[in-house]
Amino acid sequence: MITPLTYPAPAHLHGPTLLALPSKPTPEPTHTHTQLTHSVPQEDQDWGFVAMVLDRLFLWIFTIASFLGTILILCEAPALYDDTQPIDVEISRVYRRQYLPELDINSKL
């Protein structure tokens, strides 16, 4: 009888004798391996959730800090608080001729 673990030897060697294949090692209990494989995906999911929460938190912190920083920088612009007359308005003859002809000294000369 030929079983899956045996095969017939070639006829030119020893006749019709059967040689046995090497036996497989007996499997060890896998309940600990099964427990480990079931606990690892749950732990990965937990850490993935923690990472997602931290990612959203840091996104909000970054967005608020960027927005406030932009507002503060724009509010400190010197042009917003500078009341001096521009130099072209003070000195320009063209401006005086167009908008203030009564104050233009050079036009009377």
Question: Could you tell me the pTM of the whole model?
Answer: 0.43
Taking the C-alpha atoms of residue 66 and residue 69, their distance in angstroms, rounded to an integer, is 5
User: What band does 18 get if pLDDT is binned at 50, 70 and 90?
Assistant: low
Over residues 81-101, mean pLDDT: 75
Nearest to 91 by CA among 104, 78, 101, 102: 104
Dig out the tokens for 3 from the structure: 């079983």
> Exposed, middle or buried: residue 95 (CB in 10 Å: 0-12, 13-18, 19+)?
middle
Per-residue confidence (pLDDT) for residue 94, from 0 to 100: 75
CB 15 within 8 A of CB 29: no
Residue with tokens 């000369």: 109
Helix, strand or coil, per DSSP, at residue 15? coil
- Per-residue pLDDT reduced to its tens digit, 20-29: 666 777 666 6
